[in-house]
Amino acid sequence: MSASPPLHLLWVNVRLLHPLNGGDRIRTYHMLRQMKKHCRITYLCPRTPQDTQEALDQATEYCDELRTFPHDPPRGGSPRFYASVLWNCLTGTRPFASQKYFSTQARSLIQSALSGQKYDLIIADYLMSWIHFCDLMPPPAIPTIVFQHNVESLIWQRHTEAAGNPLRRLICRREWQLTRAFEDHVGINASGQIAVSKDEQRIFRDERGMKNVLGWVPTGVDCDYFTPSTATAPTLAFLGSMDWHANVDSVTHFIRHSYPSIKSRCPDAKVILIGRNPTPAIRALAAEDASIEVTGTVDDVRPHLARASIMILPLRVGGGTRIKVFEGMAAGLALVSTHIGTEGLPVVDGQHALLADEPAAFADAVVSLIQNDTRRQQMAAHARDWVRANFSWETAALKFLDLSRRALPSGQGE
């Protein structure tokens, strides 16, 4: 790697990375910090009314040059958001999750940037960022790679299958159809794609027949950032953005269908829901039960994780790899998860975590760790040692750069 000429990357995203309050932001942040040691990075993204000057200033941590354009996409839960979702469902040709970031100013900035030919590679971070390139005329002459954090269509398929409300099911089904078509467009028109797990690489390359999949990069964790929890109380922690539909669904389902069984056998059990922007439905859970705490947005998750002894991840829908899995393990918590919760990670049931999908089985797994403290501590220690030894952000970043070079013209960057 050191013998290769430094690449200049134009990294296009749909947001600034600070605050680091979501797994997707954390992944990109840590990988860019490592890549910045080996190449020059220009970061282009929208600047919304909610972005602070501090977030702009902190961009120097992960890029050499920051370029922004003003944009105010509909905010979740607002009347404008619901109207935009429904309108896109009825008339749209692109998934709403991507279309809401479309900006003519962004398109102009990208065309201007490309005319200078100073970049070696363009990285569209997330499928959503492809909205800036899908109809670009002429198409970029510079190799353009899409960093696929998820198989987004699979997430929408699962939301469709889980939806109980007919209108929600209709909207989810349409978003699923549009997202799958958008992914197919990437599969044909992007210079390359990089996935975040071996399973997702297989879906794109083998099941979907996409010829431009360059490979996959592992999820990392900064173990030195976390101090192992010494808590022994039967306190369960859920970590994740509490305005993301998959998290809201999983937490609500857990509280309604698994937690009563846990409480009946372990009356001292408590739940801490750690994550930004909790919805009214999430706040209502705490209002109904004093043993449930909702933290809301926090500057540092570590003090809250330190109060827990078990991390729960009862996801029923979702995709990608779970940074929160490794963060919980690095923080010394034993993990109980569904199989979807650890999808894409080489987590072995009974060694690194307990995996259960049905509500009763999930409750039984949690209770087994509460009632057997020795087993809980051993599993937590084993998992922490495992992630420390095998998963680092430096490894992920260097693999990403190696894969990206495959999209360069022959002989360039060799």
Q: What is the pLDDT of residues 149-203, one digit of tens each?
A: 999 999 999 889 988 889 999 999 999 999 999 999 999 999 999 999 899 999 9
pLDDT average, residue stretch 125-137: 91
The pLDDT value given to residue 413: 53
* Percentage of the chain modeled with pLDDT above 70: 97
Whether 299 shows a pLDDT value over 90: the answer reads: no
The pLDDT value given to residue 114: 80
Whether 305 shows a pLDDT value over 50: the answer reads: yes
CB atoms under 10 Å from CB of 98, counted, come to: 23
The pLDDT value given to residue 402: 95
The tokens describing 127, both together, are: 């499928």
pLDDT average, residue stretch 224-231: 88
Confidence of residue 1 (pLDDT cuts 50, 70, 90): very low
More confident residue, 206 or 317: 206
Q: Are 204 and 213 in contact (CB under 8 A)?
A: yes
pLDDT average, residue stretch 132-161: 90
Over residues 48-65, the pLDDT tens digits come to: 999 999 999 999 999 999
Whether 229 shows a pLDDT value over 80: the answer reads: yes
The pLDDT value given to residue 135: 86
Whether 316 shows a pLDDT value over 70: the answer reads: yes
The tokens describing 369, both together, are: 């760790």
How far apart CA 81 and CA 243 sit, in angstroms, is 14
pTM value is 0.81
Exposure letters 309-323 (e unless 16+ CB within 10 A, then b): bbbbbbbbbbbbbbb
Q: What is the mean pLDDT of the chain?
A: 92
The pLDDT value given to residue 319: 58
As beta bridge partners, residue 294 has 273
The pLDDT value given to residue 2: 45
Give the Cα-Cα-Cα angle 348, 248, 235 (nearest 5 degrees): 60
CB atoms under 10 Å from CB of 405, counted, come to: 18
CB atoms under 10 Å from CB of 1, counted, come to: 10
Give the Cα-Cα-Cα angle 279, 320, 13 (nearest 5 degrees): 75
The pLDDT value given to residue 274: 95
How far apart CA 352 and CA 211 sit, in angstroms, is 34
More confident residue, 244 or 386: 386
Lowest pLDDT segment from 187-201, 216-230, 267-281: 216-230
The set of long-range contacts for 159-164, using a CB threshold of 8 Å and a minimum separation of 24, is 159/245, 159/246, 159/249, 159/317, 162/249, 162/316, 162/317
How far apart CA 302 and CA 295 sit, in angstroms, is 12
| DSSP state letter for 372 | -
How far apart CA 209 and CA 193 sit, in angstroms, is 13
Whether 148 shows a pLDDT value over 90: the answer reads: yes
Domains belonging to the chain, first-starting first, are 8-220+393-405 (3.40.50.2000), 223-390 (3.40.50.2000)
Within the chain, what is the greatest distance between any pair of CA atoms? 66
How far apart CA 239 and CA 242 sit, in angstroms, is 9
Strand order in the sheet with 8-12: 65-70, 40-47, 8-12, 121-125, 144-147, 192-195, 213-216
Whether 238 shows a pLDDT value over 60: the answer reads: yes
The pLDDT value given to residue 4: 58
The pLDDT value given to residue 322: 75
Q: Are 236 and 311 in contact (CB under 8 A)?
A: yes
The pLDDT value given to residue 246: 86
Whether 320 shows a pLDDT value over 80: the answer reads: no
Whether 386 shows a pLDDT value over 90: the answer reads: yes
Q: Are 98 and 127 in contact (CB under 8 A)?
A: yes
Whether 118 shows a pLDDT value over 90: the answer reads: no
Give the H/E segment covering residue 329: helix 323-330
